[in-house]
Structure formats: structure tokens, C-alpha cells
């Protein structure tokens, strides 16, 4: 393990994220399991106060998760010079496969799960009957487990970073082979517009519906999200979009900060739209339903804007 | 919109309870100033290391014997395909005598006309001539046209004329290197004719592998590897420092916890009144968190500025720790965006963590009891 | 409008239980002016707190405007307080460090209104209380009577239907007591329901339509 200032800082903030989510989830489990339909006002007050602590901790946890993403990449960046052969983040990830990639992916995905919980909470507090109360409190331990797993993988990965020789990303991503994939690549120019047009039709269809349901919004968002992931995928994107093959997602995000911002915006927005769309029994709760629809549209708008920016960047830098 | 209004309320509260705010801000300011000063020196060194690496050739070929560098003959590489240019280099430590006193420097002699560093004043050195960095010239009190003395391998002083200065973009080189021609360096450092310390090679990186295969006794360093080595050398101490600094930060956090937990009667009542006026519990928690954030932001921002100012003034205490007590190397100062982000993250996130529980306790007081608390 | 059914409140201090209210039932119609009397420590403020949703009863039911508030989540109670209830406290409980105008605007903060808008809405109320010249004074520069009038203006800024005042005239001199009494009476005449506690006889125009006495936690 190589210890530098960033590694120490990263561990400190990572520890904070665990310290925040663990009591929150235990408390949530306690409240969720003890909740009874008939309870005294004092019990209700105690329960609500505990729920406020859980919500506050989750908000803090969410913000800490957002801090951890750039901190993680900065930390890895600072270690590249200590690992002979590694020229970028991809090289470092080779030191602890597959934990490294799972860890990095989880780091990007966890804030979205936190966001889902916070959306669920916002919807829940719109209704006096608090329909999602138990669901959101029971979901928390799963979130805590994932956070713990991620912290464990952080430790595992950083422990494995040592001054040993690794191949750089050129050794991972070779030129595309001939055959089927190559054939797809040759047809990329027709495949890409098809993909974009499908997305556009779906989005337009949702917008033209007089009162689009949250599910329609979620479907459109899911298509856009799939498009985004294909756009960013290291080996698929070059074939579909005729992007420079060697541009792995790390290079892409480092070389084009606007793509980083747009990807973040798109993932967050589309995730918001999807989660608001798939919530159960929303029709039965008018206030929560209204908020979910608004959040869904906001998410879709953010998502489409983000995806568009990524696509435009690809189109102009090809 | 509401959140902006809550921000303004939090700002107001920080001013209203200014003694309380200062009691947290001052220790955090001191800790952050220390951390920022250290980061600025660390980043400055890394920046300098990168600038220093820019002057290096794509490949440097050395001969190792039992893990130690020994003199080599440059002709061995002639037949290797892909080498665009190769230049023998001789370098070593010499003592420099000037009117300002004596100091140890690195003397470099490079084959060919173009020098290692771009000359910003004067011309490239010929026999018995040297070029030094602007920093070294200032520190040693010499100007182009003047003479200076170097102690050769036999302990005899050799006189050289200073004919030019190179830039101070790399402080490392500018305060240490003395450039001369290959033969003069060979004479001063006592190398046998036809030998050199290493060879600078202009070729693609892949050629390095060919050289190592064809000449197992030779080792090739790429520019990237040399840059990484420089960065790793200068980046190493920061981890140790960070551990010490974390202990200080922890103390501040404990203070923040204690301060946020000691809720005055006035605050009790105030929260009770606000809740009676219809303020939701989460809004009160948000205001309390924002208060901590405002104090933290102010303390971290001013701490960072103070730290930078401290380094720009010469960093009297840190300098010895980071650079070694006797080196004449001037303290570099640079704070990258990444370091700035880390400083704010490490200063603010734990502070919010230390405040959240007391803020929640305060905000969940039953209003009726909070108002009537005595 | 306000209905209390068999409301009891017990405070717990460690293992000790201190009953404050026992089996209190009460019905107050819209537009009424109700006073609750009783010696110090008899539970008047607790009763007002329960009516105003500042405290939850240990047992019993409370309804406001036909809405059963007893089981409502806390943030709904906050919303209810904001929309329907104004409070005036015995010790005014104005926030130090703010001006009179800013204090009056505080209940508007959760609505996300900017300071300029809050002040715009608060100023007419201070004018109605005869305090326009004191609007920008720090609150601690005002006399007791002036502070109480600021507190009344604050209670009215969201135009609540129900005004709850805990000993509103106990901490001011006789002249100010009469003035505040007149202000409250005027508000009651304008249709606001007024519930106040006092241990001294109200003077001036403030004449309650119903008077209850609280003793030993029971209402008579």
C-alpha cells in the first residue's frame, strides 16, 4: 500500500460515510421493525424524531458520497506516478482485478441509490399516511451493506496498489478484431441515427401524451440511460459511434471535463426519472404522485440534456 | 428558493452568535492554514518536478554494475535502429566558489551545441565556460561575464567564465545545475576520454526495450519514468504529514462537537419559538448545518489564503521539514484545483459530520417544552 | 373549530411522572374569545400548547377545523400551525439580533420568501400596531409593551384563524395591558378565534365569551 496525503484524506472521508450510514441504517431498522399502527403520541414523537435523524444522516451521507467520487479519482491519479508502467487510471485498476472495477462502478452508483432513498423520503412526507415509511426504513440496511462493501473494496484495492510493474491501457484495449463486431462497426453510421431516432420518438411520444404517466417517463429515461451507457462503454462506443478506439471511459472523462459533467447530469437525471416512474401505488397518493411526476420530468430533462451533450461531443470529436 | 433563504438565516445566525462562531472558526483556520501551506509546498514541488522532467530526453541510457551507475561508452548504441539522435552526458557533484561563498552543485556537460535548458540570457557554453540557472546566479551573486571557480576531481580549483543564464521555470534545475561543454565536464569530474555518465537518446519508447535486450548491461529510463520518480520522491512526505495534521483536525472536530452540543437556554427557546411559528424540524436542522458550513467555509477559505501567504513569505518552519534544512532551493508555491478540493472536503465534511447530531437534538425538541425551558 | 376530547398530559422526569392535565374536554367555536384562568403551574400553558399543536397529549384527541391532529406527522403539524395558528407568548420570545420588522417576518421563512418580500408583508402589521417608527430597531431596544405588540404582529403575519396568547398582558404595564387588550379584542371582533390564559383580570375591551378555570390539571 502506498500512503500519501490523498489516500489518508480519502480514508477519512470514506470512514465518515460509513460512520454516517451505519447508525442511520440500524436506527431505521429499529424504527421500521417497532412501528405499529396503534401507538401513543409520545411513541409517535420518538419515532418521528428518530426518522429525522435518519433523514439528516442520509442527506449528509449523500453529500459525502458526492465528495467521494472526485476524491477517489484524485487519489488514484496521485498514485499513478508510484506504479511503474501505469499511465492512467486503467493501469492502476489492473492491480486488483476485478475488485477495482466493481469498486469504481459502485462508487458511481451508490450516490444514485442514496438519491433514490431521498426521493422516496420526499414523496413519503407528502402524504399524512406516510405510505413509503416502512419501505424506506427497510431499504436503508441494504444501502449500508453496499456502503460497507464499497469501503471494504476501497481498502482492498488501495492495499493492492504497490510499486509493481503493470501494463498500461494499451495492453487491455486492442484494436477491434475482424468479424461480426467489425461488421457492426462498418454499419455504425446507420446504427447510431437509428438509436437516436428511437430515443427521440419515445421521448416525443411521452411528451405528446396529454398526461404522461410516470411509467412512460421512466421508459423514455431507461432508453436514454441505455444509450448513455453504450456511448460511454469502452469497447462498444468505438464500434457504434466510431469514437477513437483507445479512448477508455477514464481517458474520456479526463480529456473532456464537459463529458464528465454531462455524464453525471445524465445519469442522475435519468435515474431520477426511472425511480420516480417505478414507485408502486403512486396513483393512490395524489400529492406524492404530483411530486413524483414533476421530479420525473425534471430528471428526464436533465438526462436528455446530458446525453445530448455527450453525443454532440462524440459527433464533433470523432 | 427556500434553501437560499435558509442560507441567509444561517449567515445571520453566524453573525448573531459571533463569539460561538469564532470559537470554532479560529482553531479550524489555524489547522487549515497549516494544511494549505503544506499542500502548497507539496504541489509546488510536484509542479517543479514536472517542469524539470520537461527538459529530459525521451530516453536516458545508463550502465549499471551491481546496481550502481558506472561510466559507459556511448558508441555502443550506434547500430540500433530507431534512434534519431544520441548525446553523451557527463554529470556529477562539484563545489562552486563565488564571492558569496561556496556551495555544492551539479555540473552537467552535454555533447553537441544545444544546451539542456533553454538559455534566456547570453549564449551556450564553450570550453571553460558555464551557464547557470537564474536562481543560482542570484544566490551565488554572479553575473554573465564574471568568473567563478569549480573544484575539480583532484581538488584543484578550475576557473570558468559565466556566459549565460537559463530560465527558472524549473526551480530544481535553476538553483542547482551548472552547464558546460562535454570536455570541460570530463576534465573537472575526472572521467576517462571516450566515457560518459549516461547517454541521452531521442527515440520512441519501444526502442528502449530493444536497447535493453541488445545490451543487458544497460538500463533505460523513459521520460515518464523519470517524471514519476521525481513526483514520487517529492510526494512521499505528504502522507506522513497528513497523518499528523489529521490529529489536529480531529481535535478541532471534537471541539466542534462540544461546541454544538452545548446548547444555551436562549437557543432552546429560539428553536421552540421557530417551531411554534411553523418552522419544520428539517428546516431547523438545515439552518444549523448551514451555520456550521458557513463557519467552516469561512475558516477553510481564510485558512487556505493564510497558508498560501505563509508559503509565499518563505514558510520559515515548513521549509526545513519539506526541503531539508540546508538546501538553498527556494520554496515553491502552487495549489492545484485537486488539492484545493481536498482541503475543502477534508475541512468541511467531518465538520458537518460532527455537527449533525447536536443539530438534530436541538431541532427535535418539543416546542412547548423548549419555549418554557429554564 | 377546536375540540379536545379527554386530553391528558403527563410529563416524565426520569422515572417520575408529573401529571399536567387530566381528562380535559373542551369545544371552542370559530370566532369565540376564550380565557383560561388558573393559578401559576396549573397547566394553562400546557393546555394552550396542546391546542396549538406545540405538544402532543399523552392521551385523548385534538381536532382543529375538523382535522384530527393527534396522529398527524410532525411536519404536517408545522404546516397546520403556519396556516392556522398564531402564538403570542408571555415573555414575547422575540429573537434577539433581529429588528422588529425581521421578527415579524420570521414565520414567512419556511415559505421561502426573500427578506424584501417578508418585510413588505410585515410592515403593514407593524403599522397597525403603531410601531412603524420602531420597525428597524433591534428588538432589545423596545419597551415591554412594544415587544408584545411586535409579537402580536408576528402572530398575525400569516393571517391565522386561531390566535393563542399565553398571558399576553402579564408582563406589561397597565397602559400597555389596556392597549394590547384592545388590539386582541379588535382581532376577535374581526372574526379570529382567540384563546388566552391569564391570572389577572383582563381590562379594556377584551371581554371573553367563555371563561374556563384550570385547577389540578382539570378544567371547570
Q: Which residues of A touch C56 (CB under 8 A)?
A: 41-42, 44-45
Residues belonging to chain A with any Cβ–Cβ distance to chain C shorter than 8 Å? 40-42, 44-45, 48, 125, 128, 130
At B15, which helix (H) or strand (E)?
helix B2-16
| CA distances to B127, B254, B365, B367, C69 from B274, in Å | 84, 28, 11, 8, 20
The cell 422515572 sits on which residue? C15
DSSP category for residue B329: P
Nearest-Cα distance to chain B for C57, in Å, is: 11
Strand, coil or helix: C117: helix
In chain B the beta strands, taken as DSSP E runs, fall at 59-65, 68-70, 85-98, 101-110, 119-122, 129-133, 147-151, 157-166, 177-181, 198-202, 218-222
Q: Which residues of A touch B341 (CB under 8 A)?
A: 70-71, 74
pLDDT at site A180: 40
Neighbouring residues of B64: CB distance < 8 A, sequence distance ≥ 6: B70, B217, B218, B219
The verdict on A18 touching B (C-beta cutoff 8 Å) is: no
Nearest-Cα distance to chain B for C80, in Å, is: 8
DSSP per-residue codes, B135-189: HHHHHHT--TT-EEEEE-TTS-EEEEEEEEEE-SSSHHHHTTEEEEEHHHHHHHH
pLDDT tens profile C147-181: 988 999 999 898 899 999 888 877 777 787 888 88
Strand, coil or helix: C115: helix
Percent of chain A at pLDDT > 70 equals 77
Nearest-Cα distance to chain A for C1, in Å, is: 21
Q: Which residues of C touch B9 (CB under 8 A)?
A: 109
Report the mean per-residue pLDDT for chain C. Answer: 87
- pLDDT-derived band at A179, boundaries 50, 70, 90: very low
| Other residues' Cβ atoms within 10 Å of the Cβ of residue A294 | 11
- pLDDT-derived band at A206, boundaries 50, 70, 90: low
- B190 or A176, higher pLDDT: B190
The verdict on C103 touching B (C-beta cutoff 8 Å) is: no
Strand, coil or helix: C187: helix
**Taking CB atoms and an 8 Å limit, are A9 and B235 in contact across chains?**
no
DSSP per-residue codes, chain A: ----HHHHHHHHHHHHHHHHHHHHHHHHHHHHHH--SS--HHHHHHHHHHHHHHHHHHHHHHHHHHHHHHHHHHHHHHHGGGSTT--SHHHHHGGGTTHHHHHHHHHHHHHHHHHHHHHHHHHHTTSTT-TTHHHHHHHHHHHHHHHHHHHHHHHHHHHH--S-----GGGTSPPPPSSHHHHHHHTHHHHHHHHHHHHHHHHHHHHHSSS--HHHHHHHHHHHHHHHHHHH-TTHHHHHH---TT--HHHHHHH-HHHHHHHHHHHHHHHHHHHHHS-TTGGG-HHHHHHHHHHHHHHHHHHHHHHHHHHHHHHHH-
- C18 or A172, higher pLDDT: C18
Closest by CA position to C41, among listed C62, C18, C63, C61:
C18
- 8 Å CB contact between B34 and B309: no
Residue in C78, C97, C158 closest to B16 by CB: C97
pLDDT at site A317: 58
Strand, coil or helix: B334: coil
**Taking CB atoms and an 8 Å limit, are C71 and A40 in contact across chains?**
no
Closest by CA position to B87, among listed B46, B127, B125, B57:
B57
**Taking CB atoms and an 8 Å limit, are C110 and B278 in contact across chains?**
yes
- pLDDT-derived band at A172, boundaries 50, 70, 90: very low
Q: Which residues of A touch C20 (CB under 8 A)?
A: none
Nearest-Cα distance to chain C for B329, in Å, is: 53
The verdict on A249 touching B (C-beta cutoff 8 Å) is: no
| Other residues' Cβ atoms within 10 Å of the Cβ of residue B190 | 11
pLDDT at site A189: 52
pLDDT at site B281: 92
Rounded Cα distance between A244 and B198, Å, is 38
**Taking CB atoms and an 8 Å limit, are A16 and B364 in contact across chains?**
no
Residue A46 has pLDDT above 80, yes or no: yes
pLDDT at site A173: 47
Nearest-Cα distance to chain A for C78, in Å, is: 12
Residue A163 has pLDDT above 80, yes or no: no
Neighbouring residues of A211: CB distance < 8 A, sequence distance ≥ 6: none
Peptide bond into A98 cis (omega under 30): yes
Grid coordinates representing B64 are 549499471
- 8 Å CB contact between A100 and A107: no
Interface test with A, best of C11, C74, C110 (most A CBs within 10 A): C74
The secondary structure of B27-51, three-state, reads HHHHHHHHHHHHHHHHHHHHHHHHH
Rounded Cα distance between B274 and B264, Å, is 15
**Taking CB atoms and an 8 Å limit, are A9 and B242 in contact across chains?**
yes
DSSP category for residue B118: -
Nearest-Cα distance to chain A for C81, in Å, is: 15
pLDDT at site A190: 47
Question: By CA distance, what is A39's nearest residue in C?
Answer: C71
Phi, psi of C12 (to 5 degrees): -110, 130
The verdict on C18 touching B (C-beta cutoff 8 Å) is: no
Nearest-Cα distance to chain B for A192, in Å, is: 36
- C196 or A3, higher pLDDT: C196
Q: Which residues of C touch B368 (CB under 8 A)?
A: 45-46, 49-50, 54-55
Percent of chain C at pLDDT > 90 equals 22
Question: By CA distance, what is B270's nearest residue in C?
Answer: C95
C37 exposure class (CB count in 10 Å sphere: 0-12, 13-18, 19+): buried
Residues belonging to chain C with any Cβ–Cβ distance to chain A shorter than 8 Å? 56-59, 70-76
pLDDT at site C106: 92
Strand, coil or helix: C99: strand
pLDDT at site A195: 61
Residue in B231, B341, B357 closest to A70 by CB: B341
Dihedral sign (CA C205, C211, C216, C218): negative
Strand, coil or helix: C73: coil
Beta bridge partners of C214: C219
Closest by CA position to B39, among listed B239, B299, B196:
B239
- pLDDT-derived band at C216, boundaries 50, 70, 90: confident
Grid coordinates representing C37 are 384562568
- 8 Å CB contact between C6 and C137: no
**Taking CB atoms and an 8 Å limit, are B274 and C106 in contact across chains?**
yes
Rounded Cα distance between A79 and A90, Å, is 12
pLDDT at site A241: 59
Residue in B1, B15, B278 closest to C112 by CB: B1
- 8 Å CB contact between B332 and B48: yes
- Do strands C193-198 and C162-166 pair parallel, antiparallel, or not at all (unpaired)? parallel
Report the mean per-residue pLDDT for chain A. Answer: 76
For chain A, the straight-line distance linking the first and the last C-alpha, in angstroms and rounded, comes to: 39
The cell 381528562 sits on which residue? C23
- Do strands B68-70 and B59-65 pair parallel, antiparallel, or not at all (unpaired)? antiparallel
- pLDDT-derived band at A177, boundaries 50, 70, 90: very low
Lowest mean pLDDT across A48-57, A216-225, A245-254, B364-373: A245-254
Question: By CA distance, what is C56's nearest residue in B?
Answer: B366
Closest by CA position to B13, among listed B270, B374, B304:
B270
Phi, psi of B98 (to 5 degrees): -135, 180
pLDDT tens profile A281-314: 677 777 777 888 788 778 878 887 887 777 777 6
The C-alpha R_g of chain A, in whole angstroms, comes to: 22
pLDDT at site A270: 84
- C207 or B76, higher pLDDT: C207
- What subunits touch chain C, counting only 3 or more CB pairs under 8 A? A, B
Interface test with C, best of A31, A40, A41 (most C CBs within 10 A): A41
**Taking CB atoms and an 8 Å limit, are C70 and A40 in contact across chains?**
no
pLDDT tens profile C88-114: 888 888 998 899 999 999 999 999 899
ipTM of the complex: 0.90
**Taking CB atoms and an 8 Å limit, are B239 and A13 in contact across chains?**
no
Strand, coil or helix: C199: coil
Q: Give the orientation angle of helix B281-312 with respect to helix A41-79, to 10 degrees.
A: 30
- What subunits touch chain A, counting only 3 or more CB pairs under 8 A? B, C
- 8 Å CB contact between A24 and A146: no
pLDDT at site B212: 82
Neighbouring residues of A296: CB distance < 8 A, sequence distance ≥ 6: A214, A217, A218, A221, A272, A273, A276, A277
pLDDT at site B303: 93
**Taking CB atoms and an 8 Å limit, are C58 and A125 in contact across chains?**
no
Mean pLDDT for C46-65 is 89
- C12 or B325, higher pLDDT: C12
Nearest-Cα distance to chain C for A107, in Å, is: 33
The C-alpha R_g of chain C, in whole angstroms, comes to: 17
Tell me the average confidence (pLDDT) per consecutive run of 10 residues in chain B, 374 residues long: 88 89 88 86 81 80 82 76 84 80 83 68 82 84 84 80 83 84 87 86 82 83 78 61 68 73 78 91 93 93 93 76 60 84 88 88 87 73
Rounded Cα distance between C120 and C134, Å, is 15
Rounded Cα distance between B172 and B45, Å, is 9
Amino acid at each position: 500500500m502506498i500512503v500519501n496525503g490523498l489516500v489518508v484524506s480519502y480514508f477519512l472521508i470514506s470512514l465518515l460515510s460509513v460512520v454516517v450510514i451505519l447508525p442511520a441504517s440500524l436506527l431505521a431498522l429499529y424504527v421500521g421493525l417497532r412501528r405499529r399502527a396503534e401507538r401513543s403520541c409520545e411513541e409517535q414523537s420518538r419515532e418521528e424524531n428518530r426518522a429525522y435523524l435518519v433523514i439528516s444522516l442520509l442527506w449528509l451521507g449523500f453529500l459525502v458520497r458526492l465528495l467521494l467520487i472526485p476524491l477517489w479519482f484524485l487519489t488514484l491519479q496521485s498514485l499513478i506516478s508510484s506504479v511503474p508502467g501505469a499511465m492512467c487510471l486503467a493501469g492502476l485498476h489492473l492491480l486488483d482485478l476485478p475488485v477495482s472495477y466493481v469498486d469504481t462502478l459502485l462508487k458511481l452508483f451508490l450516490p444514485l441509490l442514496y438519491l433514490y432513498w431521498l426521493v422516496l423520503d420526499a414523496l413519503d412526507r407528502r402524504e399524512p399516511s406516510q405510505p413509503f415509511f416502512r419501505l424506506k426504513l427497510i431499504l436503508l440496511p441494504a444501502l449500508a451493506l453496499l456502503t460497507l462493501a464499497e469501503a471494504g473494496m476501497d481498502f482492498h484495492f488501495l492495499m493492492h496498489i504497490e510499486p509493481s510493474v503493470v501494463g498500461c491501457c494499451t495492453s487491455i484495449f486492442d484494436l477491434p478484431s475482424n468479424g461480426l463486431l467489425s461488421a457492426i462497426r462498418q454499419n455504425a453510421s446507420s446504427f447510431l441515427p437509428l438509436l437516436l431516432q428511437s430515443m427521440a420518438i419515445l421521448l416525443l411520444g411521452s411528451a405528446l401524451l396529454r398526461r404522461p404517466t410516470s411509467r412512460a417517463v421512466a421508459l423514455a429515461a431507461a432508453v436514454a440511460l441505455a444509450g448513455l451507457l453504450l456511448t460511454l462503454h469502452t469497447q462498444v462506443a468505438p464500434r457504434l459511434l466510431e469514437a477513437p478506439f483507445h479512448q477508455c471511459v477514464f481517458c474520456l472523462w479526463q480529456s473532456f471535463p464537459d463529458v464528465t459533467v454531462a455524464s453525471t447530469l445524465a445519469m442522475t437525471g435519468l435515474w431520477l426519472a426511472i425511480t420516480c416512474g417505478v414507485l408502486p401505488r403512486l396513483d393512490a397518493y395524489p400529492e406524492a404522485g404530483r411530486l413524483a411526476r414533476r421530479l420525473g420530468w425534471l430528471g428526464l430533462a436533465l438526462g436528455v440534456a446530458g446525453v445530448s451533450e455527450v453525443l454532440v461531443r462524440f459527433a464533433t470529436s470523432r | 428558493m427556500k434553501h437560499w433563504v435558509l442560507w441567509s438565516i444561517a449567515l445571520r445566525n453566524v453573525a448573531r452568535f459571533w463569539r460561538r462562531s469564532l470559537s470554532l472558526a479560529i482553531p479550524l483556520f489555524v489547522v487549515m492554514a497549516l494544511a494549505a501551506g503544506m499542500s502548497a509546498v507539496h504541489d509546488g514541488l510536484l509542479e517543479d518536478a514536472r517542469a524539470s522532467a520537461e527538459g529530459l530526453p525521451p530516453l536516458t541510457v545508463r550502465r549499471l554494475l551491481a546496481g550502481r551507475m558506472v561510466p559507459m561508452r556511448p558508441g555502443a548504441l550506434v547500430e540500433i535502429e530507431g534512434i534519431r539522435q544520441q548525446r553523451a552526458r557527463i554529470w556529477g557533484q562539484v563545489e562552486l566558489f563565488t564571492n558569496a561563498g561556496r556551495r555544492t552543485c551539479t555540473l552537467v556537460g552535454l555533447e553537441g551545441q544545444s544546451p539542456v535548458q533553454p538559455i534566456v540570457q547570453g549564449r551556450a557554453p564553450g570550453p571553460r565556460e558555464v551557464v547557470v540557472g537564474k536562481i543560482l546566479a542570484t544566490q551565488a551573486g554572479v553575473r554573465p561575464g564574471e568568473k567563478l571557480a569549480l573544484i575539480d576531481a583532484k581538488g584543484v580549483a578550475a576557473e570558468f567564465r559565466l556566459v549565460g543564464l537559463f530560465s527558472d521555470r524549473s526551480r530544481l534545475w535553476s538553483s542547482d545545475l551548472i552547464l558546460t561543454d562535454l570536455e570541460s565536464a570530463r576534465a573537472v569530474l575526472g572521467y576517462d576520454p571516450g566515457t560518459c555518465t549516461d547517454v541521452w537518446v531521442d527515440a520512441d519508447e519501444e526502442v528502449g526495450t530493444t536497447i535493453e535486450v541488445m545490451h543487458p548491461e544497460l538500463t533505460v529510463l523513459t521520460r515518464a519514468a523519470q517524471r514519476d520518480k521525481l513526483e514520487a520522491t517529492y510526494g512521499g512526505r505528504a502522507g506522513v504529514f497528513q497523518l499528523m495534521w489529521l490529529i489536529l483536525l480531529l481535535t478541532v472536530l471534537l471541539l466542534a462537537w462540544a461546541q454544538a452540543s452545548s446548547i444555551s437556554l436562549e437557543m432552546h427557546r429560539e428553536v421552540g419559538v421557530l417551531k411554534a411559528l411553523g418552522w419544520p424540524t428539517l428546516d431547523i436542522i438545515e439552518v444549523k448545518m448551514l451555520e456550521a458550513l458557513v463557519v467552516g467555509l469561512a475558516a477553510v477559505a481564510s485558512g487556505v489564503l493564510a497558508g498560501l501567504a505563509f508559503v509565499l513569505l518563505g514558510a520559515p518552519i515548513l521549509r526545513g521539514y519539506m526541503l531539508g534544512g540546508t538546501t538553498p532551493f527556494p520554496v515553491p508555491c502552487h495549489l492545484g484545483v485537486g488539492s484545493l478540493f481536498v482541503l475543502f472536503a477534508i475541512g468541511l465534511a467531518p465538520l458537518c459530520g460532527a455537527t449533525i447530531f447536536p443539530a438534530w437534538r436541538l431541532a427535535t425538541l418539543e416546542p412547548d417544552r423548549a419555549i418554557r425551558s429554564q | 373549530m377546536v375540540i379536545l376530547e379527554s386530553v391528558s398530559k403527563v410529563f416524565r422526569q426520569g422515572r417520575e411522572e408529573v401529571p399536567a392535565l387530566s381528562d380535559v374536554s373542551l369545544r371552542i367555536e370559530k370566532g369565540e374569545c376564550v380565557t383560561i384562568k388558573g393559578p401559576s403551574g396549573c397547566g394553562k400553558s400546557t393546555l394552550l400548547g396542546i391546542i396549538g399543536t406545540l405538544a402532543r397529549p399523552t392521551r385523548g384527541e385534538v381536532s382543529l377545523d375538523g382535522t384530527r391532529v393527534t396522529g398527524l406527522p410532525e411536519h404536517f403539524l408545522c404546516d397546520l400551525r403556519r396556516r392556522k395558528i398564531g402564538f403570542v407568548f408571555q415573555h414575547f420570545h422575540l429573537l434577539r439580533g433581529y429588528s422588529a420588522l425581521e421578527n415579524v417576518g420570521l414565520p414567512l421563512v419556511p415559505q421561502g420568501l426573500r427578506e424584501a418580500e417578508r418585510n413588505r408583508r410585515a410592515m403593514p402589521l407593524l403599522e397597525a400596531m403603531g410601531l412603524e417608527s420602531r420597525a428597524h430597531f433591534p428588538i432589545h431596544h423596545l419597551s415591554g409593551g412594544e415587544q408584545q405588540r411586535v409579537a402580536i404582529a408576528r402572530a398575525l403575519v400569516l393571517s391565522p384563524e386561531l390566535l393563542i396568547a399565553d398571558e399576553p398582558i402579564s408582563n406589561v404595564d397597565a397602559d400597555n395591558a389596556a392597549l394590547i387588550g384592545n388590539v386582541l379584542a379588535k382581532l376577535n371582533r374581526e372574526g379570529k378565534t382567540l384563546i388566552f390564559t391569564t391570572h389577572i383580570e383582563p381590562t379594556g375591551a377584551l371581554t371573553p365569551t367563555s371563561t374556563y378555570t384550570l385547577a389540578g390539571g382539570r378544567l371547570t
